[in-house]
Structure formats: C-alpha cells, structure tokens
Amino acid sequence: VVFDRIRENRKKDLKKSLAEIINSSVNETLSRTILTAFTVILVLLSLFFLGGPVIHDFAFALLVGVVIGTYSSIFIASPIVLAFENIQISKGKRKK
C-alpha cells in the first residue's frame, strides 16, 4: 500500500524530493496500516487465548508475522526504497 502511494505521489508532484514524497506517503497510509494490523492482532489474540492447543501455535506464528510485517512495512521498506534510489543516482553520476 505504501509503495502504491509513493508511486501515485511521484506522478502528482514532480517538484518534491523522493524523501519528502516517501514521508508524505507513509503519513497518508499510517493510520490505515495501524488500524488493519490492530484488528488482525485482536482476532489473533482471541484465537491464541481462546483456541485449542492446535490453534494456539498457529495463532502465535500468525501474530508474530503480523507484528513483524507491520513494523517492516512502516519503518523498513520505505527507507530501503530511498537508499536504493540514492545508490542508483550515485552510480549514474559515476558513469557520466
């Protein structure tokens, strides 16, 4: 979702730097990401505590995955895009 928003915002505003576009895109999708993750975590916690022994391990694995996935989509994925873009720009300057 964040990458789609970055792509949309890059097309809309060509004057902003990539860092500003990424920042605004993350801010636009932050509430949606957190609310979705919170809802899924509530369901998984209910499965974890109210489910049987077979569901217990499965719900725990899903819970860990949702927490790590949410964290990475907010705090890791977007800075990696910026780093890759900076690497490509620096390689392009070296070739010329």
- State what percent of residues in the chain have pLDDT above 90: 70
CA dihedral 26, 32, 34, 40 (to 10 degrees): -140
Domain that holds residue 47: 2-95
What is the structure's pLDDT at 14? Answer: 86
pLDDT tens digits, 44-92? 999 999 998 999 999 999 999 999 999 999 999 999 999 998 898 888 7
pLDDT tens digits, 4-38? 999 999 999 888 998 999 999 999 999 999 999 99
Q: How many domains does the chain fold into?
A: 1
> For the whole model, what pTM was predicted?
0.79
What is the structure's pLDDT at 94? Answer: 67
What is the structure's pLDDT at 89? Answer: 85
